Structure 1
C-alpha cells in the first residue's frame, strides 16, 4: 500500500469528520435546551418563553441542516476511501450505522418538520412532545455513532473467522454495552451541552451589550447557566471515567497522553507540565502531582500504569504470537479441517492483528526479521507530544467552563447579568467549546494509531486502492464545497442573530419584539 495514499485518505476523512463535528455538538445541546425552554412555556403559559424557544429553534434548524448534509458524505467515505476496512469489519461496524439511520435519524427527521411548522397546529403538550422526540433522536444518533467508534477503540464482541477472512459479531450485547463506547457517549454529549450553553450565553450577552431583546437574553442566560454548569461538571467527571476505561483497553494511549516513557512505581503521578522528547524517550521539565494518575487510571493506590517502552516490548511479544496465528490462517486456507492449524489459530488469534503490522515492511509477515518486528512494535507509539498537549489544553478548557458557568450562575442570582466585563467574556469565549471538542476527537483518533481497529486492523491496510491524484481531487472538491457551505452557515446564523427573536403575528401585535427596549408588552412577564 502506498503510504501517501493512506495518509491523504486519513487527511480527507479527518477534514470531513472535523467539519461535520462543528455542527453536531451544537445540535445535541440546543435540542435539549429547546426542551427545557419549551417546558417552562408549557408550565407557566408565559408567551415570552414561546418566543425564546422559537428563536433558538431557528438557530437549531440552520445548524441541523448543515450537520445532516456533512454527515452523509462521511459515511460514503467508508466505501470510497476505506473499502478494505468496510469489507474486513463491515459486519460489526455497519450494524450501529444502520440502526442509527433507521431508528435515530428517522425519528429525528420525522419530527423536526412538526417542530418547526406545528406551533399553531398542535397543543402545547403535543408540541413539547415533538420537540423532545427531536432531541431524543439527535442524541440517539450520537449514541449509535459512538458505539461504532467505541468498537474501533475496543473491539469487543467480535472475532476473526478464518473461513470468511473477516471479523464477525459473536456477542452484539458486548458491542452495544462496550465500556469505551458508553464512556465516550456520555462524555461527548455532555461536551455538546456545554457547547450549546456557551453559544446561548454568548449570543444573549451580545444582546445585553447592545441593549436589544434584554428580557429574552436574560431568561436565555439563566437557563444556559444552569444547564451549562451541570454539563461542564459532568464533562469532567465523565472524562475521568473515559480515562479509567483506557487503563484496561488502550494502555498505550494513556501512556502517550501522560508522556510516560517508563513504568513508574504505583501510584503514578499526573504530569501537569512537561515537554515530551521522543528522540531521547524522556519528558523534560516535568511537573507532577503525586498519586493522581494512579488514582484516576486504576482507582487504587497499588494499580500500575504501564510506560511506553514496556508496552513496546509487550507489542513485540504480541507480534510474535500473532505470527503463529497468521501462519495457521494461511494453512487453513488450503486445509480448513487441519486440526493442528485450527488449535494453533484459536490459541493465538487474539494477536493476529499485530502480525499484520509487519505488512508495512514485508509482504509475508512470516519472513520478517527481528529488526522489522521491533520496528512494527515501535509503530504502536502514537504522536506523544501532540497527545500530551492536546489533553492538557482540553482538560484546562473543561475546568475553565466549570468556573465560567459557576460565575454565570452567581451573576444570574446576584447582578442579573449587569456586569459588562462578564458579558464581554461570554461573547469572546464562544469558539472555545469547539476547540476543546475538536481537540478531543483528534486526541482520540491519533491516540488509536497505527490502528483503524485497535489491535485488529492496521490503518494502512484499511485504505482503498486509489491514486494520489484521485484523493487530491476529492480533497480540493470537498474543501471548496464545504467552504461554501460554511460561508452560508455563518451568514444564516449571523443574519438570524441580528434579526433577533422577532415574532410576526398579524392578529397579535402584542407579541412583537421591539428592537431596542426588550419585549413590549411581554416585558411585564
Structure 2
C-alpha cells in the first residue's frame, strides 16, 4: 500500500468528522420523533380524541423539516467513502458496502415512500391505515439506523471476514456474523433510544415555550406529559445499553476502554477508582489532577469485584509480539506477491491475524518499508509503534464523561418534569419550563459526544486491528482537501441555518397552523391549563 501525505489524511479525517457530526445533529431527532408520532396517533385512533391528531400533525411537521435536512446531509457523507477514503473502500468495501446497500434498498426508500403518505394521507386514508403508515415510517427510520450501525460495527469489531492475499482485500465470509455482530446490536438499541431522549426533550422544550407564553396550553400540557414519560423510559434504556457497550469494549477493544477511563496502569481491584476528573497526557502517558471515586471502576466495567482492567502501559507491551508478527506477515506477503511461492504463502498464513499491526508499523520504518530492515531497525520500529496503538486519551476520556454527565442530568430532568406534570403543577414551577426549553440542544450534544467516544476511541484504526487510518485515505492534494473542506463546512452550515430558521418559524406558529378548528380553542382555555 502506498503511503499518503499525512496532511491529506488529517484533512480527510477532519472533513469526515465535520460532515458526520453535522449529519448526526439531525439523525437522533428523526429516530425519536417517529415512534413518538406513532404513540400520539395510536392514542388518537384508540380514543378518538382530536387533540392527539393535532399533536401528531404538528410534531410531524417539525419531524418532516428535520428528516429532509438529515437526508441531504447523509447522502453527501456516504459519497465521501469513495472520494476521500478510496483505499479504505477498496480494502473493506465488501464488508462496509453490503449493509449500506441494504440500508438504501430496504430502509431508506421504504422510509421515504411512506413519509409522503404519512404527511398527505390524513384525509385520504382510514385511521388504522394511516396509523400503519406512521409505524412503517418509524420502522424504516430505525431499520436505516440498524444497517448503518451494522456497517460501523464491522469497523470496530470485524466479524465474518478474512484477508485474501490474492486480492489484497478483506473478503466476506459470513453475512450472518456481520448482521448479528453483538457490537452492532448493542449500538443500534443504544443509538435509537438516545434518539428517543432527543425527541422527548425537543417536545418538552417547545411545549414549555407555549406554557410560558400561555399559548396552546392544553395541547402543550399533553405533549409535555407524554414526552416526559417517554423520556424517563428512554433515559433508563440509554444508561443500561451504555453499560452493555462498556462491557463489550472491555472485551473487544481494551485500548478504547482504557482510554475512556484514563487508565494508564492496570487496575488493582477492588480499589480501582472511577475518575470523575483528570487531565490525561498522551505524550507523557500520565494523568494530572485526578479526582476519583474509590471501588467503583472494577464492578462498573467488569461486573465483578476481583477482575483487573488492563491499563494502557500493559496494552502497549502486549502489542509488541503482535507488531513483530505483523512485520513478519507483511514481509511474507510482499515476497509472495513477487514469487507466488507456497513457502511464502504459508509464512504469511502463520502470521496473518497480525497483518494490521504490520501495516501500522510501516509509518515508523525507514523508507516506510518494514520488509527489508535489520533486526536492530525492527526493534526501533516496534518501540515507536507501541505508543501508536492508543487513541487520543484526552479526547476520549472527556467526550465520554460529558456524555455520561448529560445522560444522568436528563434522567433527573425527566423525572422532575413528569412528577410536576402528573401533579398538574407545571405552570406554578416556571423554572422547570425554562430549564426544559433551554435544554433542547443538550441531547443532540450528548449524542455527538457519544459518537466521538466511539469513533475517536477506535483510532489509530479505520478497521480495528486490521487497517490503520493513515493508510485508508485517497491520494488527493492538500489544496484539493482544503477547498473541499471549506466547501462542505459552508454547505452544512447553510443546512444548519435552514433547519434552525424553519424549526423556529413553525414552532412559533404553533399547532393552530395544522388545524384551525380545534387547537385554537384549546389554546385559549385558561380554566384548566393542565387538567388533562
Structure 2 residue corresponding to 1:491, chosen from 493, 496, 501: 501
Quote how far apart the aligned CAs of 1:318 are. Answer: 0.7
TM normalised by structure 1 equals 0.95
Tell me whether 1:99 sits opposite 2:130 in the alignment. Answer: no
Partner of 1:329: 333
Per-residue deviation, residues 196-255 of structure 1 (Å, max 9, x unmatched): 101100000000000110111011011101110000111111101110001111101111
Between the aligned partners of 2:527 and 2:133, the Cα distance in structure 1 is 29
| Counterpart residue number, 1:510 | 517
| 1:417 counterpart residue number | 426
Give the distance between the partners of 1:252 and 1:516, measured in 2 at CA. 55
* 1:383/1:118 CA distance change after superposition, 3 Å: same
Partner of 1:312: 316
CA-CA distance at 1:331 after TM superposition: 2.6
Q: d(CA) in 2 for partners of 1:158 and 1:166?
A: 10
Decide whether the 8 Å contact of 2:217 with 2:522 is kept in 1. no
1:269 paired residue number: 273
Q: Secondary structure at the match of 2:290?
A: strand
Partner of 1:113: 116
Aligned residues: 521
| Structure 2: 5+ residue stretches without partners | none
**Can you list the C-alpha shifts for 1:26-82, whole angstroms capped at 9, x where unaligned?**
000001100100000001001111111000000000000000011000000000000
Match of 1:467 among 477, 480, 488: 477
Pair 1:289-2:289 in alignment: no
307-316 or 86-95, larger mean C-alpha shift: 307-316
Offset at residue 474 of structure 1 (A) = 1.1
Mapped pair 1:364 → 2:369: yes
Which structure 1 segments of 5+ residues have no match? none
Moved more, 398-407 or 374-383: 374-383
Offset of residue 5 of structure 1: 0.3
Change (3 A) 1:83 1:47: same
Residue aligned with 2:391, SS: coil
The answer to whether the 8 Å contact 1:391/1:443 transfers is: yes
Name the structure 2 match of 1:222. 225
Residue of structure 2 in register with 1:450 after alignment: 460
Separation in structure 2 between the aligned mates of residue 521 and residue 122 of structure 1, nearest angstrom:
34
Aligned to 1:378: 387
Report the Cα distance in structure 1 between the residues aligned to 2:471 and 2:168, rounded to whole angstroms: 14
Q: Give, in angstroms, the shift of residue 415 of structure 1.
A: 2.9
Q: 1:453 to 1:80 in 2, by over 3 A?
A: same
Cα distance in 1 for partners of 2:529, 2:14 equals 51
2:491 alignment partner in structure 1: 481
Aligned counterpart for 1:210 among listed residues 209, 213, 218: 213
2:302 equivalent in structure 1: 298
Task: Find the counterpart in structure 1 of residue 414 from structure 2.
Answer: 405
SS in structure 1 of the partner of residue 280 of structure 2: strand
The CA deviation at 1:504 is 5.9
Residue 426 of structure 2 aligns to a residue whose secondary structure is: coil
Alpha-carbon separation, structure 2, partners of 1:522 and 1:234: 31
Is the deviation greater in 92-101 or in 511-520?
Answer: 511-520
Residue 470 of structure 1: CA displacement? 0.5
**SS, match of residue 145 in structure 2:** helix
Query: What residue is the counterpart of 1:343 in the other structure?
Result: 346
Query: Displacement, 1:416?
Result: 4.1
Aligned residues of 2:218 and 2:522 also touching (Cα < 8 A): no
Question: Mean alpha-carbon deviation: is it higher for 86-95 or for 413-422?
Answer: 413-422
- Asked if 1:437 is matched to 2:442, the reply is no
Shift of residue 258, structure 1, vs aligned partner: 1.0
Q: Does 1:77 align with 2:84?
A: no
Give the Cα–Cα distance (whole angstroms) in 1 for the partners of residues 117 and 233 of structure 2.
29
1:155 partner SS: coil
CA shift for structure 1 position 319: 0.7
CA distance in 1, matches of 2:48, 2:225: 18
TM-aligned CA deviation for residue 290 of structure 1: 3.3
Check the 8 A contact 1:510/1:522 in 2, yes or no: no
Question: In the alignment, is the contact (CA less than 8 A) between 1:514 and 1:520 conserved in 2?
Answer: no
Q: Quick check: 1:503–1:513 contact (8 Å CA) kept in 2?
A: no
2:250 alignment partner in structure 1: 247
In the alignment, is residue 388 of structure 1 matched against residue 397 of structure 2? yes
Taking structure 2 as the reference length, what is the TM-score of the superposition? 0.94
Displacement of 1:270 in angstroms is 1.8
Q: CA deviation at 1:18?
A: 0.4
Counterpart contact for 2:65–2:502, Cα < 8 Å: yes
State the 1:301 CA deviation.
2.1
